[in-house]
Amino acid sequence: MGRARWIVGSSVAAVTMIGPMCPFAPAQSIPMPSLSTDADGGDGGNGGGDTQPPKKDDGNKRDGYDGPADTVDPGNLPGGGKPLPGPGGANGGVGTGGRGGGSPQPGNGGVPAVGGTRGPNTGVGGKKNRGETGASWLAWWHANRDVHLAFARETLVTTGRAGLLVGSGRTEDGVTDGAESYEAQAKILFGLRSVLDANDASVVDAAVIAIARSIERRLSGPLQRDIDTALASKHREVRRSAVIALGVLAIDDAADRLRVVLDGGSKARTICGGKEPTAVDRGLAAMSLGLLSDRTSVPMFTAQLARAKKLDREHAAGLVLGAGAFQTEREAVAVAVGSLLDDEEIQSDVRALAPIALGRLGSAAQPFVPKLLRMTTDRDTDLRVRHSSVITLGRLCGPDDREVIDGLIELVVEATDGDIRRAAVVALGEALSTPSDRDDPTAIARASKTLCRALERPKSREDLPWIAFGSALFVRSRGNDVPARVDVVMRLRDAFTDTSDPELKAAFALALGLARDRESITSLTELVSTANVSLVRGAAAEGLGMLGDLEVGDALREQLARERDEEVCDSLALGLGALGDRRATDAVIERMRTADSTRTCTSMALALGRLRDPRAVDALLSVARDANQPGVARTMACTALGLIGERAATRWNTPFCAGANVAIRFEVQTAMQAIP
């Protein structure tokens, strides 16, 4: 199995690969844009994203799959190799080979194996994309898992074990330990300020973001000059990190600086070290303004959105994504975003971000639900826009929206396009994920029947992971005595037990955890230590974390002590972090200190960040500040410190991750999403 080295340069968790890419790597396992650290390197105003990838060939698509127990010759599966996931190339499908077809190939290199990705078409204006867009369920999980792991932390089953900390700065009774949190923040602030003078731009980049995500605004006074210095850096990636930090930390005058960068021109060059902000810089500034939710920036936002068709795609994408993050003046922002839905002169991938932004604006976007519902079945609407519209309906609607529920069920059953069908099943689960007294028993029963039938007889093998997630979301908050839950969970268990496909086994392991099926604890615990495929071990670890039973922490800690695959270590730490089990901290610190390779040191640093234990701050600072350590190790130590100091229950970049259409790729979006 290939291994990945995570480098948080340019505010992007870039992946340096050694061998084939691991499909369960953190963040999105997709090729990421190169953001050079060269001081005078070309910024690529369009982010390298104007090339239009070729259309995919659906000739090998296979329908009528007989369920997870189907033992089809791997040679007949899409992708030509064993049914393991593989990352898709930015400009085409994945060719043949054992892991989703091997390395990404340009052009029509074959249809990917289960979970792989297809290169998207970039239609402009009225050109309609009829092929599938290439959404990978692994990318979907990595974008959304922080929300689901946080949900698990909030519903922990405690065992009365004395002294055990639950989550970052919380004790067993749920009371925040303010002194512990404040001390950790102070250490991170003053410990990492010295790192800002490092010669390695990637280390500085990571330190800037770590400080911004960790420090309360009341402590940010000393940082004003530091961020101004970073904004004027000769290194593009450090400048971009400063732009992001302004939105995360919200220091005084942050909105003013961000508006200057967004507007460009001589004033922007003055604060950006004499460099004219590129389209990517301006897009990141727009997204940071969205994080700030600055009321005075709304007129500028709406004015620029109105001329989105004339802007570079990265600039326009940043505006749309930033609009979705606003917490103030949401009605006005929603109207501006909604106006993009009908504008076919806008590039299709930018236009497809509009429904996603509306979904993040919540109730302010409710007036657009009828239009979004119509667009899901309109064959004249670009496929990307239809795909995003389906995703958004699941976020905006609830059990009492009978017309939407019926429409989603119809798409699950009847849609011929795979991406629409898969998005619909997850949207159905999300829309029905919160039971209430407004539930329509007939709609609930119909949804349960639809999901059970889909699990037993999926239209495509590629549908199964999505069906599993949609089913899990549907039952997650329903009591064990509810017939709909009993029926769906029973079929999830059967599918998990019956399949020998490693990827499907991993997807069902995650789904059982998401469904909070405590009957699966024994099976998942066994997989953590015995599965031969790292993908499965990692999925089982995260699944156990979501089950919220502190007793499973023993198995996760024992496996973490002997695990050598860094991606699985990350998943084990995520599971333990969801449980609030910090008993592994001392052992992980020791492994990091005595590591005989950079890879191990980096892996253990990230694991400490996932555990979110303030006791690890001193050990991580010693790595981050050690100029003799490899840059990648120092970078990851900074990132881990940011995870420990995170001010909220979820990561700061969750507004740009949850509910994303993972088939749409922009450099600005990757920069925000990919930081662990």
Cα(123)–Cα(396) distance, rounded to whole angstroms?
A: 27
Q: Which of 26, 43, 21 is nearest to 668 (CA)?
A: 43
The more confident residue out of 216 and 469 is: 469
Query: Quick check: 660 and 356 in contact, CB under 8 A?
Result: yes
498 pLDDT higher than 90: yes
DSSP letters for 8-59: -GGGS-EEEEESSPPTT-SS--S--------TT----TTTT----PPPP--T
Provide the pLDDT for residue 190. Answer: 87
DSSP letters for 390-451: HHHHHHH--TT-HHHHHHHHHHHHH--SHHHHHHHHHHHHHHTSS--TT--HHHHHHHHHHH
Would you say the pTM of this structure is higher than 0.85? Answer: no
Provide the pLDDT for residue 250. Answer: 83
pLDDT digits (tens, 9 = 90+) for 186-200: 889 889 988 998 889
Q: Considering only 27-31, 282-286, 303-307, 665-669, which range has the smallest mean pLDDT? A: 27-31
Provide the pLDDT for residue 407. Answer: 97
Where does residue 436 rank: exposed (0-12), middle (13-18), buried (19+ CB within 10 A)?
A: exposed
What does the pLDDT average to over 133-143? 86
Q: Which residue bears the tokens 């694991």?
A: 607
What does the pLDDT average to over 530-550? 95
- Categorize the per-residue pLDDT at 155 as very low, low, confident or very high, splitting at 50, 70 and 90: low
- Categorize the per-residue pLDDT at 158 as very low, low, confident or very high, splitting at 50, 70 and 90: very low
Cα(368)–Cα(366) distance, rounded to whole angstroms?
A: 5
Q: Which of 548, 600, 595, 596 is nearest to 576 (CA)?
A: 548
Provide the pLDDT for residue 169. Answer: 37
Provide the pLDDT for residue 216. Answer: 78
Q: Considering only 85-89, 457-461, 624-628, which range has the smallest mean pLDDT? A: 85-89
Return the number of other C-beta atoms located less than 10 Å from residue 506's C-beta. Answer: 32
Cα(23)–Cα(34) distance, rounded to whole angstroms?
A: 20
Q: How many CA atoms lie within 13 A of 565 on its CB side?
A: 24
Give the gyration radius of the chain's Cα atoms.
23
Q: Which of 55-64, 73-82, 382-391 has maximum average pLDDT?
A: 382-391
The more confident residue out of 165 and 587 is: 587
The C-alpha angle with vertex 270 and arms to 214 and 275, in degrees rounded to 5, equals 85
Where does residue 252 rank: exposed (0-12), middle (13-18), buried (19+ CB within 10 A)?
A: exposed
pLDDT digits (tens, 9 = 90+) for 553-599: 999 999 999 999 999 999 999 999 999 899 999 999 999 999 989 99
Tokens, residue 269: 């060059």
DSSP single-letter state for residue 640: H
What does the pLDDT average to over 336-354? 95
Provide the pLDDT for residue 309. Answer: 93
Return the number of other C-beta atoms located less than 10 Å from residue 16's C-beta. Answer: 10
92 pLDDT higher than 60: no
Average pLDDT value for the chain: 80
Cα(548)–Cα(536) distance, rounded to whole angstroms?
A: 19
What does the pLDDT average to over 379-383? 93
Tokens, residue 402: 């009978």
% residues pLDDT > 90 (the chain):
64
126 pLDDT higher than 70: no
Bridge partners of 170, per DSSP, are: 176
Alpha carbon distance, N-terminus to C-terminus of the chain: 22
pLDDT digits (tens, 9 = 90+) for 168-189: 333 333 333 556 777 888 889 8
Q: Which residue bears the tokens 């103030």?
A: 328
What is the dihedral sign for C-alpha 81, 85, 88, 93? positive
Query: Quick check: 387 and 353 in contact, CB under 8 A?
Result: no
Q: Considering only 125-129, 278-282, 362-366, which range has the smallest mean pLDDT? A: 125-129
Cα(412)–Cα(211) distance, rounded to whole angstroms?
A: 44
- Categorize the per-residue pLDDT at 57 as very low, low, confident or very high, splitting at 50, 70 and 90: very low
For the chain, give every domain's residue range. Answer: 397-498
% residues pLDDT > 70 (the chain):
76
What does the pLDDT average to over 332-350? 94
Cα(185)–Cα(592) distance, rounded to whole angstroms?
A: 22
- Categorize the per-residue pLDDT at 133 as very low, low, confident or very high, splitting at 50, 70 and 90: low
160 pLDDT higher than 50: no
